[in-house]
């Protein structure tokens, strides 16, 4: 350890839309604590996830590598991270940091086929695997649904408090369609538990070593289960969904089958939709879903504020603080909810706020950045080598004018954007789609321009970027 090594606090949410925060223009709720952080640091308007799925995006974050380079490209295939690949815990641990993780990890696929509505199963092997990545301390709440399926640290305490069964029953209740009030006191909601555990850890931290702590909220990921007491914080009169009645008349669109309930459809919200067609959700359903989502964001903002207060009191200004999300959420826009196979800006373009040590000036950046830039940013301030990463430290991203292209990957999915046009390819089983979106003429992304003869040079340019990206991996 050297005196120049600051503490590092990484705060993430799961499935958070950038425009759900008031610092990014939301008027449905106020997020004063994240607004405060943005007013003291750099707010990135063009930050992008490297995958629209939880597991690949998180593995890219902790390794600084694209999914095809770290090998963890699927939410569903059991491909553990290679122990020889450096990650954020092992690298900082080796550099003298104490490493703590509070909340969701999801670095291994959930065994969905094992889940049962009548019991919560053991989860010890997952906890052991996570700790083996280099964590000194882990308080595990591995996703809202996972905590009713499997007995992580939160589920054990929730069970002892007498609320686990009610939460499990509500989560499995198909009639609720993933939208319900949290069936217990607000302080026992998963995000309240994560916020409370994080603040307690900071308040009690006595080690001489610098601290790296990742606070990983599993909200506002579905189920949409905010405590009812937060509903008053939401002004639904200011809310508006972005939809087009004709978008999915075009069968070339990736989510045409999803919208119409065809077997080849694939998005999270299909499973509980009437006849599995997301077009069949009622306006009252969308109202309740969005209200709960925004209420959950307000709840998380409360706990972020408490964590920031504790960090400032305990560590002063010698702290790098990063806030971001693993990906976004459609939230009813385009008649969809979830994120599977989504390259819409709703999912791809994520919030990112960074406050550097000894810096309190506000800055808004329009330079493109990616989740793979998080690890090199942390290592750079800790004076540790980061040259093995696909990303760059965020200050270097800004100085270089930002990433020329951003990439997103997943099983049977790849996308590239230069900020003006984006190309998306899905090839899964018997289905295949290619979309070309012109963001300048079609900012809401309603029209697939793949066959437009006036955009073929843009199509070829973006295709070449994808080919070059993958050739660097496979043809070294």
Tell me: the pLDDT tens digits for 193-213?
Answer: 999 999 999 999 999 999 999
CA atoms of 187 and 307, how far apart (whole Å) = 15
CATH code assigned at 40: 3.40.720.10
Q: Flag whether pLDDT at 386 surpasses 50.
A: yes
> Count of residues for the chain?
476
78: confidence class by pLDDT, cuts 50, 70, 90:
confident
306: confidence class by pLDDT, cuts 50, 70, 90:
very high
Average pLDDT of the segment spanning 111-126:
94
Average pLDDT of the segment spanning 23-52:
98
Q: Flag whether pLDDT at 309 surpasses 60.
A: yes
Average pLDDT of the segment spanning 341-353:
98
394: confidence class by pLDDT, cuts 50, 70, 90:
very high
Average pLDDT of the segment spanning 25-48:
98
What pLDDT score does 476 carry? Answer: 57
**Does 460 fall in a domain?**
no
Give 432 or 473, the one with higher predicted confidence: 432
Q: Which domain holds residue 382?
A: 7-400
Average pLDDT of the segment spanning 31-59:
97
Check if the beta carbon of residue 258 is closer than 8 Å to that of residue 278. yes
Cβ neighbourhood burial of 137 (10 Å; 0-12, 13-18, 19+): middle
The pLDDT mean for the chain works out to 96
What pLDDT score does 419 carry? Answer: 97
Average pLDDT of the segment spanning 271-299:
97
pLDDT above 90 as % of the chain: 94
- In the chain, how many domains are there? 1
**Does 331 fall in a domain?**
yes
**Does 432 fall in a domain?**
no
What pLDDT score does 1 carry? Answer: 40
Average pLDDT of the segment spanning 268-275:
96
Average pLDDT of the segment spanning 450-465:
97
**Does 204 fall in a domain?**
yes
Nearest to 324 by CA among 341, 300, 342, 340: 300
**Does 254 fall in a domain?**
yes
**Does 179 fall in a domain?**
yes
What pLDDT score does 361 carry? Answer: 87
What pLDDT score does 430 carry? Answer: 87
Taking the model in full, what pTM does it have?
0.97
What pLDDT score does 475 carry? Answer: 64
**Does 214 fall in a domain?**
yes
Average pLDDT of the segment spanning 240-258:
96
**Does 414 fall in a domain?**
no
């Amino acid at each position: 350890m050297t005196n120049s090594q600051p503490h590092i606090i990484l705060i993430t949410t799961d499935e958070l839309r950038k425009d759900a925060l008031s610092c990014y223009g939301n008027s449905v709720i106020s997020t004063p604590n994240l607004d405060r952080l943005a007013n003291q640091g750099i707010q990135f308007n063009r930050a992008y996830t490297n995958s629209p799925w939880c597991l690949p995006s998180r593995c890219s974050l902790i390794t600084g590598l694209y999914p095809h380079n770290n090998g963890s490209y699927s939410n569903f295939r059991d491909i553990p991270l290679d122990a020889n690949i450096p990650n954020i815990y092992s690298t900082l641990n080796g550099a003298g940091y104490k490493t703590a993780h509070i909340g969701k990890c999801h670095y291994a696929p959930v065994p969905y086929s094992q889940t049962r509505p009548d019991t919560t199963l053991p989860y010890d092997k997952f906890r052991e695997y996570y700790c083996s990545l280099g964590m000194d301390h882990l308080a595990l709440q591995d996703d809202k649904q996972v905590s009713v399926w499997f007995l992580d640290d939160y589920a054990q305490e929730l069970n002892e408090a007498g609320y686990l069964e009610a939460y499990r029953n509500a989560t499995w209740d198909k009639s609720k369609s993933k939208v319900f009030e949290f069936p217990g006191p607000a302080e026992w909601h998963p995000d309240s538990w994560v916020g409370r555990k994080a603040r307690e850890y900071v308040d009690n931290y006595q080690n001489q070593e610098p601290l790296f702590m990742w606070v990983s909220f599993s909200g506002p990921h579905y189920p949409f289960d905010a405590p009812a007491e937060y509903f008053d914080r939401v002004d639904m009169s200011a809310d508006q969904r972005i939809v087009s009645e004709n978008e999915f008349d075009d069968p070339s669109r990736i989510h045409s089958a999803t919208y119409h309930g065809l077997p080849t459809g694939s998005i999270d919200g299909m499973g509980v939709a009437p006849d599995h067609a997301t077009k069949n959700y009622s306006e009252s359903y969308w109202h309740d879903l969005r209200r709960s989502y925004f209420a959950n964001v307000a709840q998380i903002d409360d706990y972020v504020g408490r964590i920031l207060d504790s960090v400032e009191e305990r560590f002063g200004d010698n702290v790098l603080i990063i806030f971001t999300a693993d990906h976004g959420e459609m939230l009813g826009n385009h008649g969809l909810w979830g994120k599977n196979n989504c390259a819409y800006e709703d999912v791809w373009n994520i919030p990112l706020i960074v406050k550097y040590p000894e810096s309190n000036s506000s800055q808004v950046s329009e330079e493109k950045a990616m989740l793979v830039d998080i690890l090199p940013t942390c290592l750079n301030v800790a004076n540790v080598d980061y040259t093995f990463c696909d990303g760059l430290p965020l200050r270097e991203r800004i100085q270089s004018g930002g990433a020329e292209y951003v990439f997103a990957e997943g099983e049977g999915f790849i996308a590239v954007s230069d900020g003006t046009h984006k190309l998306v390819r899905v090839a899964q089983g018997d289905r295949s789609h290619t979309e070309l979106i012109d963001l300048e003429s079609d900012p809401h992304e309603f029209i697939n321009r793949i066959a437009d003869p006036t955009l073929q040079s843009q199509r070829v340019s973006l295709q070449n970027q994808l080919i070059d990206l993958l050739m660097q991996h496979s043809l070294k």
